[in-house]
Structure 1
């Protein structure tokens, strides 16, 4: 068997139960949203389900990665694997990305159904062109956010278990992780307070059209759409940071982290 295919199949086997459970929970929520909207005769009620599931998909990838790392860590397979640490982690990222795309396509189809077949009058501002623009942006954003958070989770997990080799701090590893978390956020906050840096970061923006609010009028709900600006510079920073976190995690895993 091709080594890459073998890695992918292995990661699929150890993660499919959680993925199928997640899909099952999504289907229950989607059905609940349509049922409640039909019962109350308020099609915009599905928007609550869409938003909640969208927020859950932002953490789907890191949760899945943590589950896979914990599961595989129990059998210590990578201690004896001839594959590089990069390939071991990239295989997991690939499987998670496939899962993420499947769940996002499911939610996008549900959203289109809710807006155009179930409650078109409620979303009267939303043309097909705007919907496609919004769907593309949100889906790309969720994928990128998922990858970014997954890199952080992988980094924290490898740091935590790498510290196990040092008996004096073995029982205080969580404090190290907490220190890194708050230390990074504090440093980022202080840097953003520097006027020159803050001005540069928010100098270039991209206009987008997201769903922003619900308006209740004449005993019915309407969805309002507005333009917001998204800074572009942070995108490149987060890409570089994600690559750095992945690099450090891979290097630590290459040292045969024992968990």
Structure 2
């Protein structure tokens, strides 16, 4: 455990530069949009920015993870680390998850600030009228889950790319191999969705949640977030979680081969 914590601290240290850059631009955007809303006396214009910024956060963890992987790929530090590839990659995905959670916490605090501004200006009656806790929590959970899923794909495709480097004949065309892997997966996924097995009631099982956000603008009220029912496919999400675990374990196996980067 102590060794893993050491790896975690090292990965967080490598990620912190771009993370602070991300936070800096985020805070500049927050301040800029709020200043504009005060100048134009239109407090509701902060709402589209809030929704857009929250959506962009799905890329924070994957980009941070890719940065660390590229740094270690260039230095080949992981080749000489006594820890297993599983622990090395687990520490990186854990570090990415930590900074993702911290960033989404800042987004949540900014959302409370925006709601307070809207409440003071009489544009909403209460916090729950604008963003109920359930909807807010599920949206944040969706952003986090999507970000982690993309991060697993980053790890997997990165290891595929570098594992192909051991073959001189295709070393300069490794990017094509990555594209083919991604394309093949998507083709198989589409074919699977057309099978009778996928159309079974088991895969269609889900729960309807009033969570799907939709922006709405009215001259007298400004911007508002409306919610519509969205089906959450429980079994399908579980399948994606299983696939993510498989891709992660396969990436660890590839890294254990000590391929040159």
- TM-score normalised to the size of structure 2? 0.91
**1:153 CA drift (Å):** 0.6
Q: How many residues in Structure 1 have an aligned counterpart in Structure 2?
A: 258
Greater shift, 86-95 or 129-138, is seen at 129-138
Note the 1:1-259 alignment, pairs <5 A.
2-115=2-115, 117-120=116-119, 121-124=122-125, 127=128, 131-194=132-195, 196-198=197-199, 200=201, 201-218=203-220, 220-259=222-261
Distance 1:222 1:14, change over 3 A: closer
**1:124 CA drift (Å):** 4.4
CA contact (8 A) 2:130 2:224 kept: no
**1:236 CA drift (Å):** 0.3
Superimposed CA distance per residue, residues 132-154 of structure 1 (whole angstroms, 9 cap, x where no aligned partner): 11221122112211111111010
Q: What is the CA–CA distance in structure 1 between the aligned matches of 2:42 and 2:195, rounded to whole Å?
A: 47
Distance 1:203 1:10, change over 3 A: closer
Question: Which structure 1 residue ranges, 5 or more long, are not aligned?
Answer: none
**1:258 CA drift (Å):** 1.8
Distance 1:154 1:221, change over 3 A: closer
- TM-score normalised to the size of structure 1? 0.91
- Cα RMSD between the aligned structures? 2.1
Superimposed CA distance per residue, residues 172-214 of structure 1 (whole angstroms, 9 cap, x where no aligned partner): 2111111111121122122223355135333322313343121
Q: What SS does the aligned partner of 2:260 have?
A: coil
CA contact (8 A) 2:48 2:223 kept: no
CA contact (8 A) 1:11 1:91 kept: yes
Q: What is the CA–CA distance in structure 2 between the aligned matches of 1:91 and 1:253, rounded to whole Å?
A: 14
Question: Which structure 2 residue ranges, 5 or more long, are not aligned?
Answer: none
Distance 1:130 1:38, change over 3 A: closer
CA contact (8 A) 1:204 1:232 kept: yes
**1:3 CA drift (Å):** 1.6
CA contact (8 A) 2:208 2:232 kept: yes
